[in-house]
Amino acid sequence: MAVVGSGPAGFYTAYRVMTKLPDAHVDMYEALPVPFGLVRHGVAPDHPEVKNCQEKFEDVASSPRFRFIGNVSVGLCSRAKEQGMVRLRSLMQHYDAVLLAYGASEDKRLDIPGESTLNGIYSARQFVGWYNGLPECSSLDPALVNAQEAVIIGQGNVALDVARILLEDINVLRNTDITEHALAILSRSRIKRVHVVGRRGPVQAAFTIKEVRELMKLASVAFHPVDRSLIPVDLKSLPRASKRLMEVILKGSEALVESAPKSWSLDNCLAPSRFLGGIQSPEDVAGTEFNVMKLTDAFNPLSKTMATGQTLQLPSDVVFRSVGYKSVALPEFAAMGIQFDESRGVVNNDGLGRATQVLAIDQQTSTCQQVPGVYCAGWVKRGPTGVIASTMQDAFITAEAIVQDWISGAEFLRPKGDTPAQGWNGVRQDEGSHTERSVSWDQWLQIDRAEKQGGKELGKEREKFTNTRDMLAVIQ
């Protein structure tokens, strides 16, 4: 089986398939020279315990039936010129099965005036990638040094990660694996006030209690009280998790708004309508205008919103839009008979991870057929939501479908009983020079050791390489 992507979805599916089918061999293709997807480039640096899943992935990689093929992107033109690229067609020819587990590498946009033209507006994906050493974001250098007011648009856990990194004591961050280039800028940041803005109220927000609690506990960071009318007086009317979350929000922080050097707030019922440039520097963002919304059913977690006709502006020296990640189709999908649902940003599948083609849709139902041997898992299967644990559950469901199909003798990419699939050797023959710079697991371990050594010198867990060239340079 070829696996496209080395994040949690790829590793957990590989693990389950290899456990249940003792003859299964897995080749894992990863666009970067380094594995682990968002566990490395998404999870916040001050959450090292979340990265413990890497130990499981290392276990999987130690099997003689597993091969890591890093620095080789499947089907997408590489962003770095040192990176290899192979066609999906080639994988489909040389494996029995292909698992698409390549996550969500783009971000959703707001599509409002000023978003693409003004300086100082970043996606949370770029900012997170920047402080976590994702090569394509390493040159972001967000304009924090002269900024005091930050606006984060979105109220999910990623938005709270961004808020925490902006507000956290720099000495706490120094002990994490945050990149040195991010530390250099964050240590000069003058951000004093962070607005975390949502279209709806706190009851409808997507963040979870752990992330809110962490923000409330930051020393010297105050929380501006939330609009009390958006939370029911009788908290018992809420589901248990929501009730506990509202208690934390109502309790707020120990630091006082009047005296704390930094503060943050949840700004609710605001839908962004345009960004405004400054008077002195019209090319830089200086404000965000919002339509003031009202909830149709304030305490219902599924409440919708209506515009009130009023607008409100927030000063914004810097803006982060955190409205979600987005998966994209690989260019060869159509030619290979794989359908991609552009509106949901997922590979069409039967919910169990089998890629499907919709043949016909009538008013009530659609007729689908399976694309033999092609599967999907993780964010590219069910959309860019969910934590590592839910991605694992989802990967196990896909693995079960693969195993069942194999045992039941279903059709795969190659005729059953043929000579064994050529796998990587076949792909290499087809793709020639595009595979020359591939990185094996042992070579990744060399990069890993070099990063840890670099970190040791700085008193931290690791100092990540932030570009492909430097990663490849340490490979002997």
| Integer Cα distance of 463 and 235 in angstroms | 45
CB of 334 to ligand FAD, least distance (A): 16
Among 68, 102, 207, 465, binds ligand FAD (CB under 6 A): 102
Nearer to ligand FAD, 246 or 376 (CB): 376
Among 43, 260, 293, 450, binds ligand FAD (CB under 6 A): 43
**Side-chain half-sphere exposure of 274, counting CA atoms within 13 A:** 5
**Strand pairing partners for 211?**
none
Q: Confirm whether residue 9 is marked as ligand binding.
A: yes
Piece of the chain touching ligand FAD by CB under 6 A; list 250-258, 378-386, 419-427, 449-457: 378-386
Interaction between residue 105 and ligand FAD (CB under 6 A)? yes
| Integer Cα distance of 423 and 200 in angstroms | 50
Among 1, 10, 373, 412, binds ligand FAD (CB under 6 A): 10
| Integer Cα distance of 24 and 27 in angstroms | 10
Among 3, 18, 26, 76, binds ligand FAD (CB under 6 A): 76
CA distances from 5 to 10, 38, 66, 437, 444 (A): 6, 11, 14, 17, 15
152-191: contacts with ligand FAD (CB under 6 A)? 158, 161
Binding mask 380-419 toward ligand FAD (x if CB under 6 A, else -) reads ------xxx--x----------------------------
Render 411-467 in DSSP notation, one character per residue.
--SS-TTSSPP-THHHHHHHHGGGGTT-B-HHHHHHHHHHHHHHHHHHTSS-----S
**Strand pairing partners for 306?**
294
Among 21, 50, 445, 475, binds ligand FAD (CB under 6 A): 50
Nearer to ligand FAD, 31 or 238 (CB): 31
Q: Confirm whether residue 174 is marked as ligand binding.
A: no
Interaction between residue 31 and ligand FAD (CB under 6 A)? yes
**Strand pairing partners for 347?**
340
Among 1, 2, 37, 272, binds ligand FAD (CB under 6 A): 37
Tokens of 227: 């609009």
Count the site residues for ligand FAD by CB under 6 A.
Answer: 36
Interaction between residue 42 and ligand FAD (CB under 6 A)? yes
| Integer Cα distance of 145 and 360 in angstroms | 55
Q: Confirm whether residue 40 is marked as ligand binding.
A: no
| Integer Cα distance of 452 and 473 in angstroms | 15
CB of 149 to ligand FAD, least distance (A): 22
**Strand pairing partners for 27?**
2, 67
CB of 324 to ligand FAD, least distance (A): 9
Among 2, 4, 80, 295, binds ligand FAD (CB under 6 A): 4
Tokens of 11: 């590793």
| Three-state DSSP state, 268 | coil
123-152: contacts with ligand FAD (CB under 6 A)? 128
Cβ burial 274-308 (10 Å sphere, 16+ → b, else e): bbbbbeeeeebbbbbbbbebebeebbeeeeebeee
From the annotation, which residues make up the binding site for NADP(+)?
Answer: 155-158, 199-200, 211, 386
From the annotation, which residues make up the binding site for FAD?
Answer: 9, 30, 38, 74, 379, 386-388
From the annotation, which residues make up the binding site?
Answer: 9, 30, 38, 74, 155-158, 199-200, 211, 379, 386-388
Q: Provide the binding-site residues for ligand FAD, judged by CB under 6 A.
A: 4-10, 29-32, 37-39, 42-43, 47, 50, 73-76, 101-103, 105, 128, 158, 161, 325, 378-379, 386-388, 391
